């Protein structure tokens, strides 16, 4: 049975998805904490998605060169990394420039 993300789904792959999601979160957080632009997040997540597909191939016997599975993994990891980037950048803007900005949501800020 083919799934959206994996060829066959097991509890080990669920755990691995959680771990790769945490890796994407840490990537977004690291780029935001060093005041980098958004482009390095995309590049690092691209590299991470290749690593995720390789590990799934090596450990679980998944398909290594499948564009469909790689694009789904890349999209999910990019979504997680992007949310982490905006969340941490918003927190930094509000804490570093508290006299200029206040939070207007978990992922954004506004001028006072």
Q: From its phi and psi, is residue 27 left (phi > 0), alpha (psi between -120 and 50) or beta? A: alpha
- Quote the CA–CA distance of 51 and 27 in Å, as a whole number: 14
Q: Which residue has the tokens 């570093």?
A: 96
Domain parsing of the chain, residue ranges:
11-111
| Beta bridge partners of residue 111, listed in sequence order | 101
Q: Which two tokens stand for residue 56?
A: 């799934």
pLDDT of 59 reads: 80
8-state DSSP, 111:
E
**Residue range 6-30: mean pLDDT, rounded:** 81
Distance of CA 42 to the CA centre of its chain: 9
| Banded pLDDT at 26 (limits 50, 70, 90) | very high
| Banded pLDDT at 64 (limits 50, 70, 90) | confident
| Banded pLDDT at 1 (limits 50, 70, 90) | very low
Number of neighbours of residue 95 by Cβ within 10 angstroms: 10
Q: Examine the pLDDT at 54 and tell me if it is beyond 80.
A: yes
């Amino acid at each position: 049975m083919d799934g959206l993300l994996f060829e066959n789904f097991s509890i080990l792959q669920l755990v691995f998805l959680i771990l790769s999601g945490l890796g994407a979160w840490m990537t977004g957080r690291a780029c935001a904490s060093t005041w980098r632009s958004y482009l390095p997040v995309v590049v690092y997540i691209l590299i991470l998605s290749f690593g995720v597909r390789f590990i799934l191939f090596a450990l679980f016997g998944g398909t290594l060169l499948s564009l469909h599975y790689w694009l789904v993994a890349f999209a999910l990891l990019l979504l997680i990394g992007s949310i982490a980037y905006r969340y941490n950048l918003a927190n930094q803007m509000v804490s570093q420039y508290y006299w200029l900005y206040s939070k207007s949501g978990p992922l954004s800020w506004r001028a006072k």
